Amino acid sequence: LALLDSGKTVILDLGNANKEVLEYFSDELSRAVFRRQVDKFTNNRLGDHFIQLYFEEAHNLFPRNEDDTTIYSRFAKEGAKYHIGMVYSTQSPTTINKDLLAQTENFFVAHLSSRDEVNALARLNTAFQGMEDDILRAKTVGYVRMLTRSHRFVIPVQARKFSPLMRAAMKGE
């Protein structure tokens, strides 16, 4: 928490952890971050400091159930007030808590190979209706369909793979 408070990036890679370890540490650390930000809010100390959390394979942490009291649901519903943002990735939107999905503002759809998953995405957000077959057919690496809060229609984007040489060229080095 001290590192986050000082503006540092903290990476906790639980990708290879067993399910119990993953759930325990993710939950405990998420709750600690939430409590810290609520305390700052209550004492008018948030300032310009924002916390951004990233969760990969979110279906392991945000299971589809009716429990809307999880820390992740609180992030989705209340996080902005406390300067907490959340990014999550999954290839299985049907397995994510529906309350969390309903609170999601930005979608970046890179690859879905299941008709059920694509249809669920289209039901969740009408902007994806009519694109189901296109999403299933597209296999180009880095091709993303982007839907953001500021653009209420889906935008096709071709993301390029990061290269340190490309970065240097962009900086003029």
Per-residue pLDDT of the chain (173 residues; tens, 9 = 90+): 999 999 999 988 888 888 899 889 999 999 999 999 999 999 999 999 999 999 888 888 887 776 677 898 889 889 999 999 998 888 888 888 877 888 888 888 888 888 999 998 888 888 889 999 999 988 888 888 888 888 778 988 898 887 777 766 777 66
Predicted structure pTM score: 0.79
pLDDT at 36: 96
Q: What is the largest CA-CA distance in the chain?
A: 53
Where in the chain does DSSP place strands (E)?
Answer: 51-55, 84-88, 107-109, 143-148, 151-158
Q: What region does 109 belong to: left with phi over 0, alpha with psi -120 to 50, or beta?
A: beta
pLDDT at 90: 84
Contact 71, 27 (CB under 8 A): yes
Q: What percent of the chain has pLDDT over 90?
A: 33
Cα dist. 51→3, 44, 61, 130, 142 in Å?
11, 16, 19, 35, 27
pLDDT at 66: 65
